[in-house]
Structures are given as structure tokens and as C-alpha cells.
């Protein structure tokens, strides 16, 4: 068997942060490869971004995703993206929106400790990510996130802790796989094929409902938006006093996705009789916004927008792998 050709795309984050005693520096992808015990001969490298991932715009994420697409089209067998952990699952999900789930493997990784930490986690995470990207088992799963020996899907990964190496969970499922030496073990079946996004429309607002939120607040924050994601409570329950405003917004043409603070796979809300309101189907509010941006990016035909939105949000029964 020939050794797969892996391309490393570096995009900044803590894994690339190095303090030399007086100043901070951003390491390039080539620098990151020198941190590995054995320099891999099958890995090519380029840089797509630098700095903290909390500063990335959706356009920046699309640019990273499109670079992944280009690298695969030019013949790489797999791609590793080093990325800040603050928004890693969002860029991984944007990559899934652009690429679908059948190409790859594409494996995102990062670190919780900076490169200059006495015991950095970046080198092990990078070695694992290269191994996962080299594995035939990692195909057909969409972009993956590999950190701390765990493998998560882009759809389910969520950063839940900033203080530990064990910073990510897969919501609501068990993690997709694990890696401790050089061979990943997957516990889940490959992903279903997902719809593809061509453009991402930016005028989609995301609002978190809070106790006592007034209709005036909701209206002011969402007026004029093409799309609204409202993160409610429980099983996408939003305060009853907001329903009138939601109705007004849909009548004015705003497409609404109701997300939830805890996991809930609720998707169709036909009972409400509002044809352009959906439940987020288990996606986090942040990812539901990206899905709605992609659906609205299909253009002015409402039927096409709703078709892609339904495909992206539909949890396919339980949303669990």
C-alpha cells in the first residue's frame, strides 16, 4: 500500500502560539511539523490564516474550507487543518457545508496549550490528526475534529471547557472515535451525505432568548434580517410573549430557525402552521446559523432555500450516530 499524501493547512490558534520570553509569535505549518518526533515525508504544507480563531469571519472560514476543497481536488489523499479551538467546530462545519460528507478525510486539530508550554499538547494532536487523515476508515464521515485522542464529527463537536485538554464533547452522541497510537478506532458509522452550500448569505442574526426578554428587544435585534436563529430553552421552547413577533417576522419574509440551549433533535414544527420556521434538529445555535446562511445563499427561490435548510437540519430520526 502506498503512503497517502496528506496536506497540512495551518490557520493559527493556540497550537501556533509561541512565546520566546519577550514576545508572541505565530508558527507556520512548516514550524509545526518540526515539533513532531519524526518529520513525516508524505506531508506537504501551506498557511491559510494566522492569529486567534475568535477573530475569523464566516468569509475567512469559507476561505479555509475552499482551500481544503482545492487541496483535495489537486490530488491530496487527506487534509489536516490546524486551527484555534475557539471556533474549530464552526470552520469544520463550514467545510462540511462546502465539501459535503463524502470527500476526505479532512481532520481539524488544535491545542489547548501554547507551543511554548513546558508540556504542549499540539505535537501529539498533530501526529494523531495526520494518522486519522491517513486512515481509510476516516473517509465518508465529513470533516472530523481530533484533539486529546478523541475524534468528533463537525456536526456534533462542541467546545465546553477552556481549562482542560479534554475540552470537547460530541453532542449528544458518544465521540466518533479514538486514537492513542497511530491507528484510529471508530465507534460510529459513516455520516449520511449532506447538502452542499455554494454561497453563504450574511444577514442572518443569532439571538439567545433570556428570561424577561421583551418582544421589542427581539424585534429591534432581528428587523430586516433575511434569517433569524433564536436560541430558546428546553425543547426549543421560547417565551410565549415572543410568539407574536416571530409570527410578524415570518410574515415579513424572515426565515426562522429555533435552536435550543440543551440538545434537542426537534426539526419540523408543522404544528405551528408556520411554513418557514424550523427546529435546529440538534445543531447548536451557532451551527444552525451557518446552515441558515447556506440555505439562504441558494438565492431568491424560497422552495430551494427551504429544501436545503431541511436537508441540513434534518437529524434523520434521532440525530445520533
Single residue of 85, 95, 134, 254 touching ligand ASP by CB under 6 A: 85
Stretch that binds ligand ASP, among 80-88, 226-234, 237-245, 253-261 (CB under 6 A): 80-88
Closest CA to 305 of 195, 205, 178: 195
Closest CA to 8 of 125, 99, 181, 96: 125
Q: Please give the Cα distance from 52 to 49 (Å, whole number).
A: 9
Residue with Cβ nearer ligand ASP (167 or 249): 167
Stretch that binds ligand ASP, among 48-56, 116-124, 271-279, 308-316 (CB under 6 A): 48-56
Phi-psi region of 227 (alpha: psi -120 to 50; beta: other; left: phi over 0): beta
Based on the shown chain and the rule CB under 6 A, indicate whether residue 125 belongs to the binding site for ligand ASP: no
Based on the shown chain and the rule CB under 6 A, indicate whether residue 46 belongs to the binding site for ligand ASP: no
Q: Which helix (H) or strand (E) holds 88?
A: helix 88-99
Return the number of other C-beta atoms located less than 10 Å from residue 65's C-beta: 25
Single residue of 6, 10, 14, 93 touching ligand ASP by CB under 6 A: 14
- For residue 2, what is the DSSP state? P
Largest CA distance in the chain: 63
Residue with Cβ nearer ligand ASP (110 or 195): 110
Residue with Cβ nearer ligand ASP (112 or 259): 112
Based on the shown chain and the rule CB under 6 A, indicate whether residue 31 belongs to the binding site for ligand ASP: no
Based on the shown chain and the rule CB under 6 A, indicate whether residue 232 belongs to the binding site for ligand ASP: no
Q: Please list every residue from 157 through 176 that binds ligand ASP, using CB under 6 A.
A: none
Single residue of 11, 13, 175, 242 touching ligand ASP by CB under 6 A: 13
Distance of closest approach, residue 59 Cβ to ligand ASP, in angstroms: 17
Residue with Cβ nearer ligand ASP (90 or 308): 90
Single residue of 78, 84, 142, 281 touching ligand ASP by CB under 6 A: 84
Check if the beta carbon of residue 22 is closer than 8 Å to that of residue 120.
no
Give Cβ neighbours of residue 194 (< 8 Å, ≥ 6 apart): 96, 97, 100, 101, 142, 311, 312
Q: Please give the Cα distance from 180 to 190 (Å, whole number).
A: 20
| Rg from Cα positions in the chain | 20
Residue with Cβ nearer ligand ASP (14 or 245): 14
Closest CA to 166 of 76, 33, 175, 126: 175
* Residue number with the smallest Cβ distance to ligand ASP: 84
Single residue of 29, 78, 104, 110 touching ligand ASP by CB under 6 A: 110
Residue with Cβ nearer ligand ASP (14 or 124): 14
- Which spans of this chain sit near ligand ASP (rule: CB under 6 A)? 13-14, 52-54, 84-86, 110, 112
Amino acid at each position: 500500500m502506498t503512503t497517502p499524501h496528506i496536506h497540512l493547512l495551518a490557520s493559527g490558534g493556540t497550537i501556533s502560539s509561541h512565546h520566546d520570553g519577550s514576545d508572541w509569535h505565530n508558527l507556520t505549518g512548516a514550524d509545526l511539523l518540526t515539533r513532531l518526533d519524526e518529520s513525516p515525508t508524505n506531508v506537504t504544507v501551506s498557511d491559510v490564516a494566522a492569529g486567534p480563531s475568535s477573530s475569523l469571519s464566516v468569509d475567512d472560514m469559507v476561505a479555509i474550507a475552499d482551500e481544503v476543497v482545492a487541496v483535495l481536488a489537486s490530488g491530496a489523499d487527506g487534509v489536516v487543518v490546524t486551527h484555534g479551538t475557539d471556533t474549530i467546530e464552526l470552520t469544520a462545519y463550514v467545510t462540511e457545508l462546502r465539501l459535503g460528507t463524502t470527500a476526505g478525510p479532512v481532520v481539524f486539530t488544535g491545542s489547548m496549550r501554547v507551543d511554548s508550554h513546558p508540556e504542549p499538547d499540539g505535537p501529539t494532536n498533530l501526529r494523531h490528526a495526520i494518522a486519522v487523515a491517513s486512515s481509510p476508515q476516516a473517509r465518508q464521515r465529513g470533516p472530523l475534529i481530533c484533539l486529546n485522542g478523541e475524534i468528533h464529527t463537525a456536526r456534533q463537536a462542541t467546545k465546553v471547557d477552556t481549562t482542560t485538554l479534554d475540552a470537547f464533547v460530541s453532542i449528544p452522541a458518544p465521540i466518533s472515535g479514538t486514537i492513542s497510537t497511530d491507528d484510529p478506532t471508530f465507534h460510529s458509522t459513516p455520516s449520511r451525505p449532506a447538502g452542499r452550500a455554494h454561497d453563504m448569505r450574511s444577514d442572518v442574526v443569532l439571538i439567545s432568548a433570556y428570561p424577561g426578554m421583551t418582544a421589542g428587544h427581539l424585534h429591534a435585534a432581528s428587523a430586516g434580517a433575511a434569517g433569524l436563529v433564536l436560541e430558546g430553552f428546553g425543547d426549543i421552547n421560547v417565551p410565549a410573549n415572543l410568539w407574536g413577533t416571530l409570527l410578524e417576522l415570518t410574515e415579513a419574509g424572515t426565515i426562522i430557525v429555533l435552536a435550543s440551549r440543551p440538545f434537542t433533535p426537534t426539526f419540523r414544527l408543522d404544528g405551528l402552521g408556520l411554513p418557514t420556521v424550523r427546529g435546529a434538529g440538534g445543531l447548536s445555535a451557532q451551527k444552525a446559523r451557518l446552515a441558515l446562511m447556506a440555505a439562504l445563499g441558494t438565492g431568491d427561490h424560497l422552495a430551494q432555500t427551504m429544501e436545503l435548510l431541511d436537508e441540513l437540519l434534518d437529524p434523520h430520526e434521532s440525530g445520533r450516530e
